Structure 1
């Protein structure tokens, strides 16, 4: 912990040399610290080839980051951050959230980093065996309740989760509450790789300031794609992925009570979707929110999204989300 330098320090005993050294030291201190007022979301990639996002956490101490999914390997993560002139420092990562144990959300190549830097990897207990299988050290795995109970994953960051239908073991949907100094917290909702928006998911996402939700496929492109019928059924049958319209309608329902300041659309299919199709749908059927869209790419990072408060569309603020006991209905 560095002591705070007072102006008098810079002129003590009239020494210009000491003053220069102290000024240089003060500049170094400033580079090592931050005074970030709002969290910043950096989606480095989202799609079947890999998913990873970083959240720069607010504070006036050493920079801290939260990772959501580890589906891009360490080298890819570094190279994508380099394209936006951002270094990657594993020591800044205070926790990682993993939605489910598929390799496009958790690469085994993270094992060395997880071991050396002792990252805390959080997920619901039903996914822990899968995390170990993909190389996460058992000692680094920490449970998040999948029944709507809040867990503090690092000071100033609380996470609530429910399980949504996706393949055999489901996927974790996260409500991430980030404290800010002298003002209200910011709430980010994260929902990807889910077959449908259940009442539990919708309740969890209610009142979020920013919503990140998958918009995987266009139904017509999916129907016409040269894919085997079993794969199409898996994707569209309620235990696979959300269509563009399903994602839009879910966000529109949520925005009827509380409008998010930003909407990030995740996990677009490479073969059965296109950003232009997504944007046209929103501009045609949900124009009031279309200007807030950030459509994630599979192979390049999005510009940073500053996480700002949403806006209540009712006279009273929305009540805290009540999580139904039956999660997949």
Structure 2
């Protein structure tokens, strides 16, 4: 399963090839919300590969509104409510709502019967309900969008800074570290920091904030910490 398609279909296929992944092995495409950086390749990729689309209720309509009424033409679409559990391929997706300024925005705990992956990006805040959904996952893919000082002093206009800092914006490095401190457990094997701003963050800053949280919990040597980059595919993590 592929979660989100925020690049063109051509670029997604190129990056999958670089990572040694076979796109024909995909059973479907799951989206978290309708924003362009998560959906711009959805329609073309799903049609090219014959993938079923899984989306929060109303999000398919928002995608069609943004990209045109034919954007999802001919696709099989399964809509679900935030908080709903559904099956996609051989996997079970437990969705949970995230605080973000979208029509509907969700994260997931994905299970195959033995292992689990927590997926949480586009979080303005991370309340206890989100932590409860992620706690117990073997691998966690977590937003670390910005360094607060870089965002505050950076080039973005004031209205955009307010949006990112808000409760429906994005999770900072410090916020990601704080959330990690609440969900670390003995079976956690890997954390991948994701959705880093290229303007308001640096991979080293995100890494240091998360590692500080892991070290404080005594897990720094036990958990593999990775940082996903926007410009190239990252390391393949096997569950």
TM-score scaled by structure 2? 0.88
Contact map agreement 1:206 1:258 (CA 8 A) in 2: no
Corresponding residue for 1:195?
A: 124
Residue in structure 2 matched with residue 306 of structure 1 by the alignment: 238
Larger radius of gyration: 1
Aligned to 1:321: none
Change (3 A) 1:250 1:161: same
Asked if 2 retains the 8 angstrom alpha-carbon contact of 1:145 and 1:160, the reply is: no
Report the counterpart of residue 171 of structure 1 in structure 2: 105
The CA deviation at 1:259 is 4.3
Change (3 A) 1:190 1:161: same
1:18-57 alignment to 2 at 5 Å?
none
* Equivalent residue runs for 1:81-230 within 5 Å: 81-84=16-19, 86=20, 88-89=22-23, 91-107=24-40, 109-133=41-65, 134=67, 135-137=71-73, 139-147=75-83, 149-154=84-89, 156-179=90-113, 185-230=114-159
Alignment CA distance shift 1:267-1:116 (3 Å): closer
Q: Which runs of 5+ in 1 are unaligned?
A: 1-65, 180-184, 308-329
- Greater RCO structure (CA 8 Å; 6+ sep): 1
Tell me, in whole angstroms, the C-alpha distance in 2 between the residues paired with 1:178 and 1:296.
Answer: 23
Query: Are the counterparts in 2 of residues 144 and 160 from structure 1 also a CA contact under 8 Å?
Result: no
1:166, distance to aligned residue in structure 2 (A): 0.8
Give ranges in structure 2 of 5+ residues lacking alignment.
Answer: none
Partner-residue secondary structure (3-state), 2:95 = strand
CA offsets 1:86-118 (integer angstroms, 9 cap, x no match): 2643x32211110111111111x5434423543
2:169 is the alignment partner of 1:237: no
Distance 2:47 2:87 in 1: 22
Aligned to 1:310: none
What residue in structure 2 maps to residue 6 of structure 1?
none
Alpha-carbon distance between aligned partners in 1 of 2:162 and 2:104, rounded to the nearest angstrom: 16
Q: How many residues align?
A: 231
Choose from 225, 229, 238 the match for 1:293.
225
